[in-house]
Amino acid sequence: MKKIILIILIISLGYNDEYYYSDDKKIHLKEIKLNISRHHKDTHSEKVNIKYYTTKDGAILGVNNDILVKCKKNTNCKQELLKYDFEKIEEISKNYYLLHLEDNTNIFALSREIYEESYIELSHPDFAMDYSTY
């Protein structure tokens, strides 16, 4: 029993407090260093600061300064989101918004705070993808 507790403790020490919610479950992350130069997906000229993380399952996620949210139906979500200090609120489809943040914002803490709002169905960082592989 002591060995199991020790193994769990060692594994969990490698992951800091960064996490987001997916399907009402906490997904814990550990920051990793990757030397990849990326450009903003819209302009392809504006460089974006992307940090990379790994999940306990080994998946690698790139995180920029955007949060993806899905609002519950029949809410005035955009108006509600104005109470936060976003650079830009972009409606990308019905009930879905992309929230652009300042570089120094803790994206995980803010996405969790937004997730707790009664009018939000989904809130997590907008994970960067390598579009050239599709």
Per-residue pLDDT of the chain (134 residues; tens, 9 = 90+): 554 443 333 344 444 568 898 888 899 999 998 766 555 455 444 556 788 999 988 889 999 899 999 999 999 999 999 999 899 999 999 999 999 998 778 899 999 999 999 999 999 999 886 544 43
Q: Is 119 in a helix, a strand, or coil?
A: coil
Structure tokens, 19: 């996490």
Handedness of CA 53, 4, 22, 80 (dihedral sign): negative
Per the CB < 8 A criterion, the answer to whether 110 and 67 are in contact is yes
**Per-residue pLDDT, 22:** 86
Structure tokens, 9: 């403790």
For residue 89, report the phi and psi dihedrals to the nearest 5 degrees: -115, 115
Q: What is the pTM of this model?
A: 0.74
**Per-residue pLDDT, 23:** 84
**Per-residue pLDDT, 41:** 52
**Per-residue pLDDT, 30:** 93
**Per-residue pLDDT, 105:** 81
Q: In angstroms, rounded to a whole number, what is the distance separating the alpha carbons of residues 114 and 118?
A: 9
Q: Which long-range contacts (CB under 8 A, 24 or more apart) does 14-17 make?
A: 15/56
Give the contacts of 35 (CB within 8 A, at least 6 positions apart).
none
**Per-residue pLDDT, 9:** 38
Give the contacts of 14 (CB within 8 A, at least 6 positions apart).
30
Q: Is 87 in a helix, a strand, or coil?
A: coil
CA 113, chain centre distance (Å): 12
